[in-house]
A = this chain, B = another copy of it.
């Protein structure tokens, strides 16, 4: 549909699979490293954006701590990825993100969200420069 090569799309799919695993398994530094050093994470679920590696690491650490404190396990389920060219070495990626939480033996869809990311080729690796999350329950 879009003139994105298979190699680029393969990298994009790998990036999103790996990124969710990083935060869901509590690897805060690994998750932050899927963003550029000045990467931005913006979501209406949180009062402020996380901007830059230090803030992104702290964000992921708080996420893991919240799960631990609640005896819960939260997963970021990524689907419906679409990548579009956005200039040299840049992509816009749209996707769906389901937040699935398991607690007290029950798994449920906590939240349906979508996102738009700006990706840049950063030393041969695609990274997120800016993420904007939208919540379907916040129209």
Contact = CB atoms under 8 A, between A and B. Distances in A.
A77 interface: yes
A105 B96 CA distance: 17
Residues of A in contact with B, size category: 35 or more
A125 B1 contact: yes
* Chain A binding surface SS class: strand
A108 B109 contact: yes
A2 B14 contact: yes
Given A4-B10, A75-B96, A137 B102 contact: yes
A81 interface: yes
B137 A106 contact: yes
Contacts of A80: 16-17, 20-21, 76-78
A83 B21 CA distance: 12
A11 interface: yes
Contact of A6 (B2, B9, B73, B78): B9
Interface string A1-39: 110111101110111111011000000000000100000
A79 B82 contact: no
A81 B110 CA distance: 21
Interface of A: 1-2, 4-7, 9-11, 13-18, 20-21, 34, 73, 75-83, 94-96, 98, 100, 102, 105-112, 114, 125-126, 136-137, 139
